[in-house]
């Protein structure tokens, strides 16, 4: 009986616990979700993952990305694109879509 319990823990519980730990470390916490977001067709400043105020000036992210009040994103490499509703640029310059980090390859 003790052997089957050990086998169950090794093959069942431990891998699941390790996966959950990795996912919790990889996903940004709401407190870390500061940035700007296109919300209802308007650019909003985000604090702790919630819309705080309407954006009234362009914002430069720590990686050099510039986000304008109309949602235009100008990357440091010169590429430009426009944020769609629900898309967010974190203060470090990462693009978030649907709550998940997305590479900026547009």
Q: Does residue 3 surpass a pLDDT of 80?
A: no
pLDDT at 73: 96
Condensed to tens digits (0 to 9), the pLDDT of residues 23-36 reads 555 555 544 678 99
CA dihedral 65, 53, 97, 33 (to 10 degrees): 80
Q: Would you say 83 and 43 are in contact if contact means Cβ atoms under 8 Å apart? A: yes
**Average pLDDT, stretch 86-105?**
78
Q: Does residue 38 surpass a pLDDT of 80?
A: yes
pLDDT at 85: 92
Q: What is the mean pLDDT of the chain?
A: 79
In this structure, is the dihedral angle defined by the CA atoms of residues 18, 20, 26 and 30, taken in order, positive or negative? Answer: negative
């Amino acid at each position: 009986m003790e052997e089957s319990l050990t086998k169950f823990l090794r093959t069942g519980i431990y891998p699941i616990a390790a996966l959950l730990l990795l996912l919790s470390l990889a996903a940004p916490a709401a407190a870390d979700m500061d940035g700007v977001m296109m919300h209802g067709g308007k650019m909003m400043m985000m604090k702790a993952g919630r819309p705080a105020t309407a954006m009234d000036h362009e914002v430069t992210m720590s990686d050099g990305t510039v986000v304008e009040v109309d949602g235009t994103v100008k990357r440091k490499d010169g590429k430009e694109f426009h944020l769609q509703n629900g898309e967010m640029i974190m203060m470090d310059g990462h693009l978030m879509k649907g709550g998940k980090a997305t590479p900026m390859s547009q």
